[in-house]
Chains A and B, each alone.
Chain A
Amino acid sequence: MATIGIVGAGTMGGGIAHVAALSGFNVLLHDISTDVLNRALQRISTDLQKGIEKGKISAENVEQTKQRIRSTSTFDDFSPCNLVVEAAVEKLDVKKNIFSELEQRCLPDAILATNTSSLSVTAIASSVKNAERVVGMHFFNPPHLMKLVEIVRGQKSSDETIRKTIDLAKQLGKTPVLVNDTPGFIVNRCARPFYGEALRILGEGIASVEDIDRIVRLEGGFKMGPFELMDLIGIDVNFAVTKSIYEQTFGEPRYRPHVIQQAMVNAGYLGRKAKQGFYKYEL
């Protein structure tokens, strides 16, 4: 079976490692911090354990899955990888450095994918001599539960790279959707009005937070209203996505952030993780 390298062992990297190992791939999980690596392995173990409890997976399969994951803090081990998914911090210079390191160590036909949600795949690929092998592979949080993967075609991604990446996503049990390298790709972009208009409606005093959420759930059939969802995602995280798309489109007014978002972040009301966002949560 092929080997998948994963760079960055945070929530996304760890989750992708989980999915890949569970699908039978050998996984090489990289992080500069051994602490982060250990925490990721622990979390994968816990999540797999939950799978046993729910009857989704056998104890034997869990053991085999865990054995397929090897952790490392050096890129020197990446030479056997057929595909690498980078899931490091969302900073362009950090990602560009990682990609040029990977280019020097991986096989010439290995696919180099980025899990970026907000940066341009084409910009990340600019650090690599052969940008045809670079592609976006945007997983959703948590990767072991969310079915969707956005396959992002950079300006220079080759058709073969795209085809292989789509095949791989399917082997991981995911539903791939191909999107061109445009700000926010599909989901982050097309979801902007859900939050943006709700914030406008709140800001203009048309309805309260509670009423807007109730309306969206009961009149629209959505599982969650926009404010509940912002609290869950993290108001700071959602604000950062909005700002990123706004800046990448040179200030397109449809994506302009709202002062309410800034005020909530300034106050430290970041949502569930801070026990307070648009709603209060039990301490």
Chain B
Amino acid sequence: MVFLIGESPMVEELGEQCARVGYTITVKFNRPLQKEKLPPLLRSSSTIPRGTALAIELTNTDKEKKKKNILLLEKSLPGHTVILSSSVTVTATEQASWLKSPERLMGLSALPTLLSQQLLEVAPTVNTSTKTVSTIKNFLERLGKETAVVQDRIGMVLPRILCMLVNEASFAVMENAAPPRDIDTAMKLGTNYPLGPIEWADKIGIQQVFSVLESLHQDLGEERYRIAPLVRQMAAGKRWWST
């Protein structure tokens, strides 16, 4: 039995994959989802079912809410129950420091769309137990995924690269180098990227991208990670170029 808590559409995206391989899934959203939008294989509940063997926290854009969720999981689940938590905008190490038993938590590279790919990155902390690591690896294997173990740092590997690609393309748009669609065309034809940077941001969600960039800038403190004002504006206005 797996319990997923956090942001839409990540909860549905990963929840459906779990349900398809036979896990019983219960989900809880940060903001209530309209009933008709809940995929049929998922059951929504405000309480965490007894017998939950693995809990997954998927919040990137609201650190306070994420902390509340993690503390709720700790309060509701026995001490040995493993927690897999998105560690793209808050390190797994910081999240584990909120817990009385930090050995139960490991980080995951969770972003919309990327959750459906063939490989996911996981980040253990200095306190993550071998049992936690093996439980999570087995779980991801059952989902048919490869894993890559990376150091526990903001943005991990792919989210950091992708969000910085979006940031650069956004600066190029702002500076009137070329319009968004032409940038996508050029990047796909000129470099063989599967999607252009503007399309990536559309799939992932500009607010998610903004959160990753904001966390990178805060963590690394370098001008290199300055957020393109266009990303900031579009994230605040909840708009982007749809593809």
Contact = CB atoms under 8 A, between A and B. Distances in A.
Contact of B161 (A148, A175, A197): A197
B157 A175 contact: no
A198 B161 contact: yes
A123 interface: no
A175 B117 contact: no
Interface residues of B, number: 47
Interface in A243-258: 253-254, 256
23 contacts: A146-B189, A148-B189, A148-B190, A150-B186, A150-B190, A178-B178, A179-B186, A182-B175, A186-B190, A187-B186, A187-B191, A204-B151, A204-B153, A205-B151, A206-B151, A207-B121, A215-B150, A218-B119, A219-B109, A219-B157, A221-B195, A226-B161, A253-B223
A278 interface: no
A203 B19 CA distance: 39
Contacts of A186: 172, 177-178, 182-183, 186-187, 190
B241 interface: no
Interface residues of A, number: 44
Contact of A207 (B148, B187, B193, B226): B148
Interface of A: 140, 146-148, 150, 175, 177-180, 182, 185-187, 189-194, 196-198, 201, 204-207, 211-212, 214-216, 218-224, 226, 253-254, 256
Interface in B173-201: 175-178, 182-183, 185-187, 189-195, 197
B160 A197 contact: yes
A204 B150 CA distance: 11
Contacts of A198: 161
Nearest to B161: A197
A227 B167 CA distance: 21
B185 A221 contact: no
Nearest to B164: A193
A193 B228 CA distance: 14
Given A191-B165, A223-B194, 19 more contacts: A175-B185, A177-B182, A182-B172, A186-B186, A191-B190, A193-B164, A193-B167, A201-B160, A207-B148, A215-B148, A216-B157, A216-B158, A219-B117, A219-B157, A220-B158, A220-B161, A254-B171, A254-B224, A256-B224
A178 B167 contact: no
B146 A193 contact: no
Nearest to A192: B168
Nearest to A150: B186
Contacts of A221: 117, 194-195
A198 B190 CA distance: 19
A218 B117 contact: yes
Given A146-B190, A148-B189, A222-B194, A206 B156 contact: yes
Given A179-B178, A212-B157, A219-B120, A187 B187 contact: yes
Contact of B186 (A148, A194, A204, A226): A148
Contacts of B182: 177-179, 186
A179 B119 CA distance: 35
Contact of B190 (A187, A216, A223): A187
Contacts of B119: 214-215, 218-219
B24 to A, nearest CB: 27
A215 B158 contact: yes
A159 B82 CA distance: 63
B162 interface: yes
A89 B151 CA distance: 42
Contacts of B161: 193-194, 197-198, 201, 216, 220, 226
B153 to A, nearest CB: 5
Interface string B132-169: 00000000000000101111010011101110110111
A191 B146 contact: no
Contacts of B149: 211
B242 interface: no
B118 interface: yes
Contacts of A253: 222-224
Given A177-B186, A186-B177, A216-B161, A191 B191 contact: yes
B57 to A, nearest CB: 20
A189 B168 CA distance: 8
Given A198-B161, A219-B119, A190 B197 contact: yes
Nearest to B162: A220
B150 to A, nearest CB: 4
Contacts of B168: 189-190, 192-193, 254
